[in-house]
């Protein structure tokens, strides 16, 4: 008991690292680079954490509403389009995270490469996103149980799942990493199984028999609501892949970011696209867009999962229950990631002076305990499940507050990468000094910025003129209120500090502050040795290592 109580005592920051004459910006860099978070995440943890944060209700449940809105062809096409710029975003994040493995990742990069007020706005929007996601996912998990038994009060399941998620995160980052590894492994196995089953069902090998093929592409057609329907699906696809950026947040707690992050970054993208694109293509072939069971699709209604409907259509008994178990685990996994992502982002904001200093408190087990406590407090919103009348209304507006956060986060990562590359060029730095460089490069990030801007325009269009409806202020603010809130955070911070020009010129950006590999000679030697060793391997292995 004594050791347990002692574990909550603060791990003191080594003040000797702050040298006399340092500017506040330099002190912030030192604090970020030397937070006493535990560095115990291995490569397998990193890969599964990013997958776990992305594969959840967006894939298993939200894709149902996307299928109903856009039609069969919209699903795979929209995810391919989003995947092209997500590739650039993930690689840009990898380049920055390997060079600067700091907690909070993109909020810290925004402060460094763009503007402290931008870092404040994106950081707090990201925090609010996960604060809302936690109770929402707990409610979704409780309602998933109704698939088997709807006689038990959902509040009972809410209590169980709430205690489980908060308990996992109190075991520290090692406990979180192991739990997420297990959760994600189950999801990966289930999706691989569904891919095999889906191919069999499409070919007519299921109990119901009959070749399905592209029947649902002909009736009701590939695009049920034209171009506007496709734009709506494009927005859904962007949100569904949200959470993949968590790989950058884990950099500060990985054992060796230079060696573990590059491979994790590359493999995460391909695995996500395989699971999403493969699974949704099969769903579009097996489930009709006009299926009435899709009408209940929402983020907290697992009964409308197109994956479950596809298995039922195939006449496979027992497997719908198995898939529902996977949905339940996925929901809990995303809730688990919510506590992790939120608490670490708060730690970063506190270190930068953009959040109350109490959130910078890290105990002797490496837990940002007050960030976890804040998550626990807001997580109590999950008990709204006891009142079904106001539940939907409350979460609709809570999600609307940070509804555009994922796109703004990806946009921020790409802008930071562009500024980083331009600063490298302005200061005469070689890309050879980087342990990992983005395969998409500078122009990949430019492409990502352009594409995400178009997605934001598409969402504005579908928010002002919604499908099958006239312009409606309520619908607009439900879908787009995140934009004015983000801008309000940015302007409010400017007015508070009364510093209206904090934009750092490229030549003045401190490219060494927060870097881990400052011994360039040693880094170059290690990279040369690794490259020489790779050259001894077969061509297929070198090709695999380049992409994965």
Q: What is the pLDDT of residue 336?
A: 86
- 267 within a domain of the structure (yes/no): yes
Q: What is the pLDDT of residue 89?
A: 93
Residue 465 per-residue DSSP state = S
Half-sphere exposure of 452 (CA within 13 A, CB side): 26
Residue recorded with tokens 């947040």: 249
Q: What is the CATH number of the domain that holds 428?
A: 1.20.1740.10
Q: How far apart are CA 86 and CA 445, in angstroms?
A: 10
Beta-bridged to residue 41, according to DSSP, are: 254
Q: What is the pLDDT of residue 526?
A: 73
- Residue ranges making up the domain that contains 241: 43-517
Helices (H), 145-171: 154-170
Q: What is the pLDDT of residue 314?
A: 85
Q: How far apart are CA 250 and CA 21, in angstroms?
A: 31
What is the token pair recorded at 116?
């402290």
Does 133 score more than 90 pLDDT? no
Q: What is the pLDDT of residue 299?
A: 47
- 53 within a domain of the structure (yes/no): yes
B/e letters for 309-328, b = 16+ CB within 10 Å, e = fewer, are bbbbbbebeebbeebbebbb
Average pLDDT, the chain: 83
Angle 462-465-468 from CA coordinates, rounded to 5°: 95
Measured N-to-C along each axis, helices 172-202 and 43-54 cross at an angle, to the nearest 10 degrees, of: 60
Q: Give per-residue pLDDT as tens, 329-359.
A: 888 888 888 898 898 889 888 888 888 989 9
How many other CB atoms are there within 10 angstroms of residue 396's CB atom?
14
Total tally of structural domains belonging to the chain:
1
Q: How far apart are CA 521 and CA 432, in angstroms?
A: 11
- 400 within a domain of the structure (yes/no): yes
Beta-bridged to residue 363, according to DSSP, are: 10
Nearest to 343 by CA among 355, 331, 328: 355
What is the token pair recorded at 281?
């293509």
Comparing 12-21, 38-47, 64-73, 420-429, which segment has the lowest mean pLDDT? 12-21
- What number is the average pLDDT over the span 474-501? 88
Nearest to 395 by CA among 61, 146, 52, 140: 140
Q: How far apart are CA 194 and CA 52, in angstroms?
A: 17
Q: Specify whether the CB–CB gap between 479 and 396 falls below 8 A.
A: no
Q: Find the helix or strand (DSSP H, E) in which 138 lies.
A: helix 116-144
Q: What is the pLDDT of residue 386?
A: 67
Residue 536 per-residue DSSP state = T
- 393 within a domain of the structure (yes/no): yes
Comparing 16-30, 117-131, 147-161, 398-412, which segment has the lowest mean pLDDT? 16-30
Q: Output the DSSP codes for 189-225.
A: HHHHHHHHHHHHHHTT-STT----TTHHHHTT-S-TT
Of all residues in the chain, the percent with pLDDT exceeding 90 is 18
- 115 within a domain of the structure (yes/no): yes
- 5 within a domain of the structure (yes/no): no
Task: State the first-to-last Cα distance of the chain, in angstroms, to the nearest integer.
Answer: 45
Q: What is the pLDDT of residue 427?
A: 92
- 98 within a domain of the structure (yes/no): yes
Task: Return the C-alpha torsion angle 548, 344, 160, 135, nearest 10.
Answer: -100
- 356 within a domain of the structure (yes/no): yes
Q: Find the helix or strand (DSSP H, E) in which 505 lies.
A: none
Q: What is the pLDDT of residue 516?
A: 67
Does 47 score more than 60 pLDDT? yes
Q: Give per-residue pLDDT as tens, 432-469.
A: 888 888 989 999 999 999 999 999 998 899 888 888 77
What is the token pair recorded at 98?
């390997």
């Amino acid at each position: 008991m004594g050791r347990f109580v002692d574990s909550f005592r603060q791990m003191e920051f080594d003040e000797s690292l702050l040298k006399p004459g340092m500017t506040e910006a330099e002190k912030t860099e030192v604090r970020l680079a030397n937070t006493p978070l535990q560095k115990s995440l291995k490569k397998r943890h990193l890969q599964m954490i990013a997958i776990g944060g992305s594969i959840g209700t967006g894939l298993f449940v939200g894709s149902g509403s996307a299928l109903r809105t856009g039609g069969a062809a919209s699903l795979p096409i929209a995810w391919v389009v989003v995947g092209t710029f997500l590739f650039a975003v993930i690689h840009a994040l990898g380049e920055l995270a390997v060079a600067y493995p700091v907690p909070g990742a993109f909020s810290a990069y925004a402060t460094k490469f763009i503007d402290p007020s931008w870092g404040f706005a994106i950081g707090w929007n990201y925090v609010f996103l996960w604060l809302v996601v936690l109770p929402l996912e707990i409610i979704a998990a409780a309602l998933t149980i109704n698939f088997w038994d709807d006689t038990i009060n959902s509040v009972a399941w809410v209590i169980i799942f709430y205690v489980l998620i908060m308990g996992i995160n109190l075991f520290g980052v090692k406990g979180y990493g192991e739990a997420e590894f297990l959760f994600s492994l189950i999801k990966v196995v289930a999706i691989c199984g569904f891919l095999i089953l889906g191919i069999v069902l499409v070919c007519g090998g299921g109990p119901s028999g009959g070749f399905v093929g592209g029947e649902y592409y002909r009736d009701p057609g590939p695009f049920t609501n034209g171009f506007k329907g496709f734009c709506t699906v494009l927005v859904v696809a962007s949100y569904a892949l949200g959470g993949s950026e968590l790989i950058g947040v884990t950099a500060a707690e990985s054992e060796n970011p230079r060696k573990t992050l590059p491979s994790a970054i590359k493999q995460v993208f391909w695995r996500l696209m395989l699971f999403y694109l493969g699974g949704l293509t099969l769903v579009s072939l097996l489930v009709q867009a006009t299926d009435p069971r899709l009408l209940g699709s929402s983020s907290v209604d697992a009964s409308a999962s197109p994956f479950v409907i596809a298995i039922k259509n195939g006449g496979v008994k027992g497997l719908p229950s198995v898939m529902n178990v996977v949905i339940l685990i996925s929901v809990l996994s995303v809730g688990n990631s919510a506590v992790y992502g939120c608490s670490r982002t708060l730690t970063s904001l506190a270190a930068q002076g953009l959040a109350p200093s109490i959130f910078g408190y890290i105990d002797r087990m490496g837990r940002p305990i007050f960030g976890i406590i804040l998550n626990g407090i807001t997580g109590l919103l999950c008990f709204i499940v006891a009142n079904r009348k106001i539940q939907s209304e409350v979460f609709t507006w809570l999600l609307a507050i940070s509804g555009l956060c994922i796109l703004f986060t990806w946009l921020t990562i790409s802008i930071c990468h562009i500024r980083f590359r331009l600063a490298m060029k302005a200061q005469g730095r070689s890309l050879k000094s980087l342990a990992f460089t983005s395969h998409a490069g500078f122009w990949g990030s430019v492409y990502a910025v352009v594409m995400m801007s178009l997605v934001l325009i598409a969402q504005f269009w579908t928010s002002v003129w919604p499908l099958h409806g006239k312009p409606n202020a309520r619908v607009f603010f439900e879908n787009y209120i995140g934009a004015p809130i983000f801008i309000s955070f940015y302007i409010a911070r400017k007015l508070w500090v009364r510093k209206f020009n904090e934009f750092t010129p490229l030549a003045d950006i401190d490219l060494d502050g927060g870097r881990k590999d400052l011994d360039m000679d040693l880094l170059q030697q290690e990279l040369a040795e690794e490259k020489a060793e790779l050259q001894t391997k077969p061509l297929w292995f070198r090709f695999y290592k380049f992409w994965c």
